[in-house]
Amino acid sequence: MNKKKHSVAVIGLGSMGMGAARSCLRAGLSTYGVDLNQETLDILSDAGATAVSTDCLDFAEQLDSVLLLVVNAAQVRQVLITNGLIDRLQPGAAIMISATISAQDARDFAEHLRAKELLMLDAPVSGGAAKAQQGEMTVMASGSDSAFTRLQPVLEATAGKVFRIGSEIGLGSTVKIIHQLLAGVHIAAGAEAMAMAAKAGIPLAMMYDVVTNAAGNSWMFENRMQHVVEGDYSPQSMVDIFVKDLGLVTDTAQSLKFPLHLGATAYQMFTAASNAGYGSEDDSAVIKIFRDVPLPEK
């Protein structure tokens, strides 16, 4: 008798969610897709998804697991609680919450899921769209052994590296928030450096080549400042995402009574960019807060 394939619904088919869903398909999982964008659903359906829908309730009873790759805690709450997904999943199903949320929100969701006999991994991810497409995301997860075991097929399909932070829900989210402190500061610092170069009349393509071949480079500089050199701010990760994430960094630091010198400055830079109308542009558009600086245009 053939063993039943693990069935997983990927909710949120943005740049990372679509990559994760395709990785699940390549791994032979019975993959369902959920998103509000019908065009996105059609793409995943054509790629071989078992079923797609704007509402996970359409196939909730068939699922062994759910991978939530939405933007924030409000969207997680909408999917799981307001829309009633936790009432329709079979007991023992596992939910992998991979949005960047606060540790307290993660603990609150875990409490709701336990009441329905559902498992949860507090499992934020990183790596960007390219790593998601390759099934090589970095996952920083906390949760029970049972949750890790239940979600093992999904982790094997989507992750290049899984860091087991511990059993306590909230630890995974805290590690991701600290990571986002670094990511946001690196983008902000890169933008400041490139803006200074532009002000000094140095060609940004030249400045980019120097930095990416020298000690001042970082992954975020290399990835995001390429967008600046090309004058292309099509959103891969929006300015407003870092307003949200660095807000979580700030809240976490306050709860720890921890001084946040660089993170606070980066938060103000992204907030200024959002208030200037760049919130829906790529997060590299934070460079646009520097006035009277000539930047390349696509």
pTM comes to: 0.93
pLDDT at 292: 92
Asked: is 174-289 a CATH 1.10.1040.10 domain? The reply is yes
pLDDT at 248: 97
Report the distance separating Cα 129 and Cα 236, nearest Å.
8
Q: What's the first-to-final CA gap in the chain, in angstroms?
A: 57
The partner residues of 31 in beta bridges, in order of sequence, read 8
Catalytic residue, chosen from 131, 176, 244, 288, is 176
Q: Is 176 tagged catalytic?
A: yes
Residue 42 token pair: 């059609």
Q: Give the residue among 268, 243, 129, 244 at the shortest CA–CA distance from 192.
A: 268
Report the distance separating Cα 173 and Cα 98, nearest Å.
9
Domain ranges of the chain: 7-168, 174-289
Residue written as token pair 């989507």:
158
Q: Do the beta carbons of residue 97 and residue 106 sit within 8 Å?
A: yes
The partner residues of 52 in beta bridges, in order of sequence, read 33
pLDDT at 236: 86
Report the distance separating Cα 4 and Cα 277, nearest Å.
50
Report the distance separating Cα 139 and Cα 126, nearest Å.
7
Count, residues in the chain: 298
Amino acid identity of residue 103, one-letter, is A
The one-digit pLDDT tens for each residue of the chain (298 residues) are: 456 899 999 999 998 999 999 999 999 999 999 999 999 999 999 999 999 999 999 999 999 999 999 999 999 999 999 999 999 999 999 999 999 999 999 999 999 999 999 999 999 999 988 899 999 999 999 999 999 999 999 999 999 999 999 999 999 999 999 999 999 999 999 999 999 999 999 999 999 999 999 999 999 999 999 999 999 999 989 999 999 999 999 999 999 999 999 999 999 999 999 999 999 999 999 999 999 999 999 8
Q: Which CATH architecture has domain 7-168?
A: 3-Layer(aba) Sandwich (3.40)
Domains 7-168 and 174-289 share a fold: no
pLDDT at 1: 44
